[in-house]
């Protein structure tokens, strides 16, 4: 609570006091405050005008290379250029990951299908049993 | 005029409800910020609108002219030699094929190329051996070949010993252990140009 009145006091210090040798630091502070306020005032009008027109989304232009996540076009196969093939390992790792995720997707679906079929057969078993229980006496005899 | 994702869009179409990540949206070729309406994009090319999560939009088009974009990797033939300093001797001659990265591309200036990355290492960039063979493919084909899931080059790699440099500008440099293979691989790429991705995948699956 004591800080606030202090700052206002600083602003209100007279020029003469601020010019004193030991007041150098507070003088700088006051000047900076004033400058900040001024610049804020100047730019606040312009920024709002510009923002009204441009909206709040920033659009960054990029190459199609980044959009499609392409690979580098320098490739070597069958040991033609070992140096290049060393650099290609990163891409092949990425490819493995993609393929693995694809495989996993399929197995997940298959898992679900398989599981649901198990549930169904179990269900059928119980259905049959319950039916049998009721029919048994009449059918057997 | 809706122009949803995966649909055909025309120049002048306006895209609304742009999805952004922390108010940042990445746009690829075929799109421009619409200055008349805040937070919208305007289409500049005919093609299919694509979206990649979380915030990337672009238009897939069959354009023929190459427009250089910063950061793209291209194949080219050196036409003029200049700018060699004592400190960095350049071992490139006129007529050499090079694989280079576009450093900056401004509308008003000639694009600049570099053959080193930001750590001054060549990596995969640099002069391509004069034993190789340079030919052109369509821009679309070059993009398709560079897709990580395209199996064509990998499948050819099982049968032939070769190295290749595919430029985003549609130029391809090819070098094989045997000269005959150059013709075979070039033909394979040319045939694949007229096939769909699905049929390429099918054909490649048959090769073991």
Look at chain A and report how many structural domains it folds into. Answer: 2
Q: What is the pLDDT of residue B171?
A: 92
Smallest Cβ–Cβ distance between B58 and the set A67, A87, A98 belongs to A67
Is the confidence at residue B123, as pLDDT, over 80? no
Confidence band of A137 (pLDDT split at 50, 70, 90) = low
CA distance B50 to B59: 6
Rounded mean pLDDT of B21-26? 84
Looking at the complex, report in whole angstroms how far the Cα of residue B127 sits from the nearest Cα belonging to chain A: 12
Q: What is the pLDDT of residue A19?
A: 80
In a domain, A132, yes or no: yes
Q: Which domain holds residue A115?
A: 98-141
The ipTM assigned to this model is 0.76
Percent of chain B clearing pLDDT 70 (strictly above): 90
**Which is more confident, B183 or B4?**
B183
Q: Which of B58, B62, B145 to mutate to test the interface with A (most CBs of A within 10 A)?
A: B58
In a domain, A86, yes or no: no
Q: What is the pLDDT of residue B134?
A: 92
What is the residue-averaged pLDDT of chain B? 84
In a domain, A92, yes or no: no
In a domain, A53, yes or no: no
Q: What is the pLDDT of residue A82?
A: 85
Smallest Cβ–Cβ distance between A57 and the set B18, B75, B154 belongs to B18
A6-15, B84-93, B110-119 — most confident range: B110-119
> Does residue B143 belong to the interface with chain A, where contact is any CB pair within 8 Å?
yes
Residues of B in contact with A56 (CB under 8 A): 23, 38-39
Residues 44-83 of B with CB under 8 A from A: 50, 52, 56, 58, 69-73, 75
In a domain, A89, yes or no: no
CA distance B124 to B114: 12
- Which residues, in sequence order, are CB contacts of B103 under 8 Å at separation 6+? B70, B111, B112, B113, B114
Percent of chain B clearing pLDDT 90 (strictly above): 12
In a domain, A69, yes or no: no
Q: What is the pLDDT of residue B19?
A: 81
Q: What is the pLDDT of residue A134?
A: 59
In a domain, A82, yes or no: no
Question: Which residue, among B138, B199, B91, B102, has the nearest Cα to A65 in the 3D structure?
Answer: B102
> Does residue B26 belong to the interface with chain A, where contact is any CB pair within 8 Å?
yes
Q: Which of B163, B179, B204 to mutate to test the interface with A (most CBs of A within 10 A)?
A: B163
CA distance B140 to B36: 32
Domain's final residue, options A29, A48, A67: A48
Q: What is the pLDDT of residue B94?
A: 81
- What does the DSSP 8-state code read for residue A71? P
Residues of B in contact with A78 (CB under 8 A): 157, 160-162, 177
Rounded mean pLDDT of A63-75? 85
Size of interface A-B (CB pairs under 8 A): 142
Confidence band of B113 (pLDDT split at 50, 70, 90) = confident
Residues 113-132 of B with CB under 8 A from A: 123-125
pLDDT digits (tens, 9 = 90+) for B73-106: 889 888 877 666 656 666 777 888 888 888 888 8
- Give chain B's domains with CATH numbers: 8-60 (2.40.50), 133-206 (3.30.1370.10)
Residue B100 structure tokens: 């280079």
**Which is more confident, B133 or A127?**
B133
Q: What is the pLDDT of residue B166?
A: 92
Q: What is the pLDDT of residue B11?
A: 92
Which of A131-140, B15-24, B101-110 comes out lowest in average pLDDT? A131-140
**Residue ranges of E strands in chain A:** 58-61, 74-77
In a domain, A10, yes or no: yes
pLDDT digits (tens, 9 = 90+) for A21-54: 787 888 888 888 889 888 888 777 666 666 666 6
Tell how strand B41-43 and strand B8-9 pair up.
unpaired
């Amino acid at each position: 609570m004591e800080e606030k009145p202090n700052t206002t006091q600083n602003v209100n210090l007279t020029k003469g006091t601020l010019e004193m040798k030991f007041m150098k630091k507070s003088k700088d502070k006051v000047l900076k405050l004033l400058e900040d306020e001024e610049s804020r005032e100047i730019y606040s009008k312009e920024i709002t005008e510009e923002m009204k027109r441009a909206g709040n989304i920033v659009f960054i232009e990029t190459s199609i290379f980044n959009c499609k996540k392409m690979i580098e076009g320098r490739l070597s196969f069958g040991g033609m250029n070992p140096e290049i093939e060393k650099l290609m390992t990163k891409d092949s790792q990425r490819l493995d990951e993609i393929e693995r995720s694809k495989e996993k997707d399929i197995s997940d679906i298959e898992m679900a299908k398989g599981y649901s079929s198990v549930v169904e057969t179990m269900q059928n078993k119980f259905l049959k049993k319950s039916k049998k229980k009721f029919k048994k006496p009449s059918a057997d005899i | 005029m809706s122009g949803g994702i995966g649909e055909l869009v025309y120049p002048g179409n306006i895209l609304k409800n742009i999805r952004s990540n922390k108010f940042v949206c990445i746009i690829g070729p075929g799109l421009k910020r619409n200055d008349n309406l805040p937070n919208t994009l305007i289409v500049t090319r005919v093609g299919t609108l694509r979206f990649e999560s979380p915030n990337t939009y672009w238009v897939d088009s069959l354009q023929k002219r190459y427009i250089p974009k910063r950061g793209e990797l291209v194949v080219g033939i050196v036409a003029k030699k200049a700018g060699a300093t004592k400190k960095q001797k350049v071992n490139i001659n006129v007529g050499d094929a090079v694989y280079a990265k576009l450093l900056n591309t401004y509308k008003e200036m000639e694009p600049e190329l570099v053959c080193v990355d930001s750590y001054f290492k060549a990596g995969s960039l640099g002069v391509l051996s004069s034993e190789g063979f340079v030919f052109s493919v369509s821009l679309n084909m070059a993009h398709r070949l560079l897709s990580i899931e395209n199996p064509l080059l990998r499948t050819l790699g099982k049968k032939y010993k070769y190295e290749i440099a595919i430029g985003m500008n549609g130029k391809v440099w090819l070098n094989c252990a045997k000269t005959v293979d150059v013709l075979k691989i070039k033909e394979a790429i040319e045939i694949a140009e007229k096939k769909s991705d699905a049929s390429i995948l099918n054909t490649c699956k048959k090769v073991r």
